[in-house]
Amino acid sequence: MSSIQTTEQLGDALRAARKQLGLTQPQLALAAGVGVRFIVDLEAGKPTLRLENVMRVIDALGGTLQLIGLPSSAPENHPEGNPHGT
């Protein structure tokens, strides 16, 4: 598992995963339902990409996103109708 703290590190990790799977950028874009330009920008570490599409790429690569070191937030701990507790 990789520790990722920058958008550049995320881009590098996703590029490595894509290459390990033998996929081209256009093939990954098609599998994730995003444009090739999005894949290019993601792998370059562009910091302003849409999170929903980043998650689609991670899913298309067979990965999952895990947050480690953050407080657990089970849904049953939130007041009804407001996930932020305010």
pLDDT given for residue 33 in this prediction: 98
Q: What is the distance between the alpha carbons of residues 11 and 48, in angstroms, rounded to a whole number?
A: 12
Residue 76 is assigned to a structural domain of this protein: no
33 in any annotated domain? yes
Residue 18 lies in a domain: yes
Listed residue (34, 69, 72, 37) closest to 53, CA to CA = 34
User: Residue 66 falls within a domain, yes or no?
Assistant: no
Is residue 49 included in any domain, yes or no?
yes
Predicted local confidence at residue 78, as pLDDT: 47
Q: What are 17-58's pLDDT values in tens digits?
A: 999 999 999 999 999 999 999 999 999 999 999 999 999 999
The CATH number linked to 13 is 1.10.260.40
With respect to residue 65, please indicate whether it lies within any of the assigned structural domains.
no
pLDDT bin (cut points 50, 70, 90) of residue 3 is confident
Domain tally, the chain: 1
